[in-house]
């Protein structure tokens, strides 16, 4: 992945983290508020989800998965070609 894209995700992650740090002192988690507490929990959870998504992209986990899947696909292709060539040799030998 290009450095510019990672930088963009890093900046967005920092902005989301800053918003979370700024909002935490003013968020109410009291049990008596009902809907306000529910909103607070959902808002914090969503903020953490956004931060985790950007961190996931920065670490490049998707790139590693793509490379691993490509290796598996190539190995299966080689096995399939070997099987076809063996079957072709057997049919020509008979």
List the chain residues with pLDDT less than 50: none
Q: Are residues 41 and 82 in the same domain?
A: no
Domain that holds residue 80: 61-94
Closest CA to 60 of 18, 16, 3, 17: 3
- Give yes or no: residues 55 and 92 share one domain: no
Alpha carbon 8 to chain centroid distance? 16
Could you give the C-alpha distances from 84 to 78, 81, 87, 90, in angstroms and in order?
Answer: 10, 5, 5, 10
Whether residue 79 sits in one domain with residue 46: no
| Res 25: pLDDT | 87
Q: Which pLDDT score, from 0 to 100, does residue 47 have?
A: 94
Residue-wise pLDDT for 34-47, tens only, equals 888 888 889 999 99
């Amino acid at each position: 992945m290009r450095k510019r894209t990672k930088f963009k995700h890093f900046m967005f992650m920092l902005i989301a983290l800053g918003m979370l740090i700024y909002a935490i002192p003013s968020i109410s988690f009291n049990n008596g508020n009902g809907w306000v507490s529910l909103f607070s929990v959902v808002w914090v959870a969503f903020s953490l989800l956004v931060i985790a998504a950007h961190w996931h992209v920065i670490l490049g986990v998707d790139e590693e998965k793509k490379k691993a899947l490509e290796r598996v696909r190539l190995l299966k292709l080689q096995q399939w070609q070997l099987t076809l060539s063996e079957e072709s040799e057997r049919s020509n030998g008979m």
